């Protein structure tokens, strides 16, 4: 069955159909680098990285873009408070962001564009919006004219009229309508600024994401992700700006992760329940934090508490101790007997079905625990047959295989070697393709046969060659 994902835009689960077969473009709204990112921000960074790695595991060619917002009101305020430049604030917390995602075993995105590296493109997009009547200038500021874009509100399910009448009286009364939002802000004294047709100023936050996503993924791309709190107004505004300028559909699937509470309450500095990811990762092992997030469906709200972390740790310990027992019983380097167990195959199938069903990691992990249970039943037996050993090895291999995207096992030598193995196979297939073009059939077939002996099955079709482990 094809992968199904819940699309916030349509409000239902849909079959995932990439724009280009076999390829996926994903954009996630990244951090505003004015401080260390908090545990709530860690959720989308961690979960969407897992989904992106899962899609690669499912043989999609994924391009994953996570921006860095390095110019914003919050950065300016921080710089003023600390008597440093905005650039210094940005550098410090951009470095911290990359360090922290690494600690959480989040892989580097394929592209991490900085907003300040894309100012000319932002100015161009704003010019286009002014030219086609979607934006207007007022004394050096530029605003998006929300009324000019009738679908506004589709993503968040809000109605423009309700929003207009409900909008509080704006401080800025020069605007045509209260909902109109800033695309360009004129510089106040001492603020960082860039030259533009409207004078010196800086971009608004929303335009940054429209520009950086379209630059790296195209005017229409597959998946845009972020926290549920970004649906309105940020993502709504991104759609209005992008589609207002290009007149093509901006994003095909909108994915949003649920809120994170701490001990049942909204996280806030004033309540004293505010934790940075840096603090959390200093306290708990990254695998435990990953398991904590995986145990909940990404769209559900999640409660960060000692109790839940303890559950995640216990769950992980059960897996690790079972794998240790398997290693003790049959040796780490033991080779796999190829007789495949129905039971393991069935559960692997169910694991994949759960992941394919809107990335239901909670259900997928439950399937892994059925494997743990089966392994422990075998381990407890008085006599262990060769067939039992073969099942245990298959179970172990399954954990190593899925760990390439879950990254929950301590010490990752095994998973790293598996990632490399895939890259080597791809390289061999590339050489084989060249050989076939040159009609060197004997050598090409030799590669196929030798891979086959190593239990790598390859299939040729008009769309190219695919491989799988037998
Ligand atoms: Zn964004």
Output the six-digit token pair for 280. Answer: 């959390």
| Full DSSP string of 356-383 | HBT--HHHHHHHHHHHHHHHHHHHTSSS
Q: What is the mean pLDDT of residues 425-434?
A: 84
Contact (Cβ atoms closer than 8 angstroms) between residue 206 and residue 152:
no
Contact (Cβ atoms closer than 8 angstroms) between residue 360 and residue 366:
no
Q: How far is it, in rounded angstroms, from Cα 48 to Cα 357? A: 15
Sorting pLDDT into bands at 50, 70 and 90, what band is 429? confident
Helix residue spans in 58-116 (DSSP H): 73-82, 86-103
CA distance readout (Å), 347 to 58, 309, 364, 371, 381: 17, 26, 9, 7, 21
Instruction: Return the pLDDT at 235.
Output: 98
Task: Give the Å distance between the CA of 356 and the centre of ligand 1.
Answer: 26
Task: Give the Å distance between the CA of 230 and the centre of ligand 1.
Answer: 8
Task: Give the Å distance between the CA of 41 and the centre of ligand 1.
Answer: 13
171 pLDDT more than 80: no
The candidate with the shortest Cα–Cα distance to 230, out of 5, 43, 391, is 43
Instruction: Return the pLDDT at 371.
Output: 97
Task: Give the Å distance between the CA of 167 and the centre of ligand 1.
Answer: 22
Count Cβ neighbours within 10 Å for each residue of 95-129 and write b for 16 or more, e otherwise: ebbeebbeebbbeebeebbbbbebbebbbebbbeb
Q: How far is it, in rounded angstroms, from Cα 24 to Cα 18? A: 6
Task: Give the Å distance between the CA of 27 and the centre of ligand 1.
Answer: 9
Task: Give the Å distance between the CA of 227 and the centre of ligand 1.
Answer: 10
Sorting pLDDT into bands at 50, 70 and 90, what band is 468? low
CB atoms within 10 A of CB 44: 24
Task: Give the Å distance between the CA of 160 and the centre of ligand 1.
Answer: 21
Give the best-scoring range by mean pLDDT among 109-113, 159-163, 427-431.
109-113
Contact (Cβ atoms closer than 8 angstroms) between residue 202 and residue 184:
yes
Task: Give the Å distance between the CA of 209 and the centre of ligand 1.
Answer: 5
Contact (Cβ atoms closer than 8 angstroms) between residue 54 and residue 351:
no
Tell me phi and psi for residue 248, to 5 degrees: -120, 155
Instruction: Return the pLDDT at 164.
Output: 77
Task: Give the Å distance between the CA of 433 and the centre of ligand 1.
Answer: 41
Sorting pLDDT into bands at 50, 70 and 90, what band is 242? very high
Task: Give the Å distance between the CA of 214 and the centre of ligand 1.
Answer: 12
452 pLDDT more than 90: no
Helix residue spans in 251-385 (DSSP H): 277-283, 286-294, 306-330, 342-356, 361-379
Percent of the chain with pLDDT over 90: 79
Instruction: Return the pLDDT at 163.
Output: 81
More confident residue, 84 or 461: 84
Task: Give the Å distance between the CA of 234 and the centre of ligand 1.
Answer: 7
Task: Give the Å distance between the CA of 29 and the centre of ligand 1.
Answer: 4
236 Cβ contact partners less than 8 Å away, ≥ 6 residues apart: 152, 153, 155, 156, 158
Output the six-digit token pair for 330. Answer: 């049959």
Task: Give the Å distance between the CA of 401 and the centre of ligand 1.
Answer: 33
Task: Give the Å distance between the CA of 225 and the centre of ligand 1.
Answer: 9
Task: Give the Å distance between the CA of 394 and the centre of ligand 1.
Answer: 42
pLDDT by residue (tens digit) across 46-89?
A: 999 999 999 999 999 999 999 999 999 999 999 999 999 999 99
Q: What is the mean pLDDT of residues 145-159?
A: 95
Task: Give the Å distance between the CA of 307 and the centre of ligand 1.
Answer: 33
189 pLDDT more than 70: yes
Task: Give the Å distance between the CA of 115 and the centre of ligand 1.
Answer: 11
Task: Give the Å distance between the CA of 204 and the centre of ligand 1.
Answer: 11
Task: Give the Å distance between the CA of 461 and the centre of ligand 1.
Answer: 40
- R_g (Cα) of the chain, nearest Å: 25
Task: Give the Å distance between the CA of 69 and the centre of ligand 1.
Answer: 8
Q: How far is it, in rounded angstroms, from Cα 126 to Cα 136? A: 9
Task: Give the Å distance between the CA of 424 and the centre of ligand 1.
Answer: 36
Task: Give the Å distance between the CA of 261 and the centre of ligand 1.
Answer: 22
Task: Give the Å distance between the CA of 360 and the centre of ligand 1.
Answer: 24
Instruction: Return the pLDDT at 160.
Output: 84
Sorting pLDDT into bands at 50, 70 and 90, what band is 450? confident
Q: What is the mean pLDDT of residues 387-415?
A: 86
Q: What is the mean pLDDT of residues 20-44?
A: 97
């Amino acid at each position: 069955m094809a992968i199904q994902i819940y699309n916030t835009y349509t409000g239902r689960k849909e079959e995932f159909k990439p724009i280009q077969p076999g390829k996926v473009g994903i954009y996630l709204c990244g951090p505003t680098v004015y401080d260390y990112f908090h545990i709530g921000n860690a959720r989308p960074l961690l979960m969407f990285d897992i989904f992106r790695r899962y899609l690669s595991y499912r043989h999609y060619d994924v391009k994953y873009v996570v921006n860095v917002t390095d110019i914003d009101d919050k950065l300016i305020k921080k710089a003023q408070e600390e008597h440093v430049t905005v650039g210094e604030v940005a550098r410090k917390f951009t470095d911290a962001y990359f360090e922290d995602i690494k600690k959480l075993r989040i892989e580097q995105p394929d592209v991490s564009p900085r907003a300040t590296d894309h100012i000319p493109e932002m100015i161009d997009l704003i010019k286009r919006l002014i030219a086609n009547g979607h934006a207007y200038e007022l004394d050096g500021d530029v605003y998006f004219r929300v009324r000019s874009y009738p679908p506004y509100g589709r993503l968040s399910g809000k109605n423009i009229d309700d929003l207009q009448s409900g909008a509080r009286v704006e401080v800025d009364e020069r605007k045509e309508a209260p909902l109109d939002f800033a695309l360009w802000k004129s510089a106040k004294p001492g603020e960082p600024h860039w030259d533009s047709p409207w004078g010196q100023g800086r971009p608004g936050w929303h335009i940054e994401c429209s520009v950086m996503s379209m630059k790296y993924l195209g005017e229409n791309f597959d998946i845009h992700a972020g926290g549920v709190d970004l649906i309105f107004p940020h993502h709504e505004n991104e759609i209005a700006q992008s589609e207002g300028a290009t007149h093509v559909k901006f994003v095909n699937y909108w994915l949003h992760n649920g809120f994170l509470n701490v001990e049942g309450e909204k996280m806030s500095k004033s309540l004293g329940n505010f934790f940075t990811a840096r603090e959390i990762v200093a306290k708990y092992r990254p695998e435990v934090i990953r398991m904590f997030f995986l145990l909940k469906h990404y769209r559900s709200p999640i409660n960060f508490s000692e109790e839940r972390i303890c559950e995640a740790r216990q769950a992980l310990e059960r897996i690790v101790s079972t794998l240790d027992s398997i290693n003790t019983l049959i040796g780490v380097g033991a080779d796999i007997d190829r007789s495949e167990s129905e039971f393991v195959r069935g559960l692997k199938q169910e694991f994949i079905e759960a992941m394919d069903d809107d990335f239901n990691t909670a259900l997928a992990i439950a399937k892994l625990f059925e494997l743990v249970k089966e392994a422990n039943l075998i381990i407890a037996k008085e006599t262990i047959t060769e067939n039992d050993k073969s099942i245990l090895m298959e179970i172990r291999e399954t954990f190593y295989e899925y760990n390439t995207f879950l990254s929950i096992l301590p010490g990752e030598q095994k998973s790293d070697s598996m990632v490399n193995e895939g890259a080597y196979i791809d390289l061999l297939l590339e050489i084989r393709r060249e050989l076939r073009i040159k009609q060197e059939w004997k050598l090409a077939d030799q590669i196929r046969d030798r891979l086959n002996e190593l239990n790598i099955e390859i299939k040729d079709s008009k769309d190219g060659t695919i491989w799988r482990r037998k």
